[in-house]
Amino acid sequence: MKFFTDSVARCAARIGTLNGFERLPNVSFETPLLLIYTKGGSVPHLTKDIFKNVTMEEQLLSVSLSSTILMKDVIKELDTSFADFVSMKEYINLLSIHDPAYTTNSGFQQLDSISVWSRTGRTVVSASKYMELVQAYKPDLYVALCDGDTNVNSSAKRVSKAVRRSKTLLEQCLDIHLRSDALKSKGILGPVEGGYNLQAREESIDYLKDKPLAGFVIDGLHNNGPSVQNISSEQIKQVVRHTINLLPTDKIRVSMGCWNPATVLDLIELGVDVFDSSYPYVITEQSQALTFMCEHDTAENNQYAMSIAEKRYADDFSPICKTCECLACQNHSRAYIHHLHHTKEMLGLVLLMIHNIHHYLQFFSVIRDSIKNGTFNQFQAKIRLKYATTNSESTTV
């Protein structure tokens, strides 16, 4: 895997190109990039055919170990790749550790292993066990095993342990990676740990920066889950800026979690390249439709999302967004989706997911265009206004 960028600034919004994947050598992505969030390798609420109706463009799927670990034995027995097993072989995939849409249980870490939580409970994963899974899954890109169990309230002792354990786990993962014929052409990402402690971040980066890594994951800022959308930019800016200023400019920088769009823009302004789409999934699960990119309704111009469950939409026969070209907006009304929600029809979540994924993909397309044409700051200011209330209320996680 290769990453190219013309930007020489360490801490600034930048356009880059991600390509050189061994399995699909003609696939290329432009950054800032949105990873498509999956559960068990599938986009939640959507069949593969419906997802292709949402977007025909090449996509990079985000696959978490916690949502797929129960598949490991079958994948090994069939001697097939994860992409083939879930019938998503035409998509590039990135394997991460925890599911960003669900709060990760804190604690339970051991000296040379971490705990991964699936729907059946806890699994203890060592570096050797993890790399065995990676060799079975054959992802195009994956995150090294790490201890990211820190947040703004973590003690200095907990942060120090997270950094030391992550260094040990990365060393073990990288050793197996470099000796494996099946993996040496795959991309491995190094997690930067340290919580909100700047000195601990420096210690983590000092170890990582000269390693043969495809990029870095800025980890340890939260414990995943819906509450991440309420973390204010001001809370994380100093840490992220300090971290990125110490990282090489020629490697991708990834930030997982359901950050709200205003915070995503602030992180892009600091130089983060890749995010995941757990945010539109979380919004869908809350029976909301994203509207922060809609400009057609002045009465709702400052609204970032609408709760489709509200009574006012029972007789509203307009689409979610009049200018939206998604399948849901082109064929269905707010009233119909409101009805589906209250009758608990599965189609309600399907239509919301179609709209929210489309909306978020359009968001990233506009981000890239705004960086290219020099209007990023204006676009950022406009979106920030719609999330002013959310960003002013910092939530501790």
Distance (Å, rounded) from C-alpha 104 to C-alpha 180?
Answer: 30
Residue 389: predicted pLDDT? 55
Binding-site positions read 324, 326, 329, 355
**Number of separate helices (H) and strands (E) present in the chain:** 14, 15
CB under 8 Å to 245, separation ≥6 — which residues? 10, 11
Determine contact, residues 293/366, Cβ cutoff 8 Å: yes
- Interval 73-92: pLDDT, tens: 999 999 999 999 999 999 99
Q: Which of 47-61, 124-138, 143-157, 294-308 has the lowest mean pLDDT?
A: 294-308
In the chain, what are the domain boundaries? 2-284, 287-384
Distance (Å, rounded) from C-alpha 4 to C-alpha 29?
Answer: 11
- Interval 3-49: pLDDT, tens: 999 887 889 999 999 999 999 999 999 999 999 999 999 999 999 99
Has residue 261 got a pLDDT over 50?
yes
Average pLDDT over every residue of 370-379: 96
Distance (Å, rounded) from C-alpha 258 to C-alpha 286?
Answer: 13
Has residue 367 got a pLDDT over 80?
yes
* Angle at CA of residue 101, ends 322 and 331, nearest 5°: 20
Residue matched to tokens 């420096």: 202
Binding-site positions for Zn(2+) read 324, 326, 329, 355
Mean pLDDT for the chain overall: 94
Determine contact, residues 7/247, Cβ cutoff 8 Å: no
- Interval 150-197: pLDDT, tens: 999 999 999 999 999 999 999 999 999 999 998 988 999 999 999 999
Determine contact, residues 178/211, Cβ cutoff 8 Å: no
Q: Which residues of 123-139 are buried (b: 16+ CB within 10 A; e: fewer)?
A: bebbbeebbebbbbbbb
Has residue 271 got a pLDDT over 50?
yes
The whole-model pTM stands at 0.94
Average pLDDT over every residue of 50-69: 97
Has residue 206 got a pLDDT over 80?
yes
Fold topology of 2-284: TIM Barrel (3.20.20)
User: In a 10 Å sphere around its CB, with 0-12 CB exposed, 13-18 middle and 19+ buried, how is residue 323 labelled?
Assistant: exposed
Reported as a pLDDT band with limits 50, 70 and 90, residue 296 is: low
Has residue 300 got a pLDDT over 80?
no
CB under 8 Å to 377, separation ≥6 — which residues? none
Distance (Å, rounded) from C-alpha 131 to C-alpha 184?
Answer: 12
**pLDDT greater at residue 185 or residue 143:** 143
Distance (Å, rounded) from C-alpha 73 to C-alpha 79?
Answer: 10
- Interval 232-245: pLDDT, tens: 999 999 999 999 99
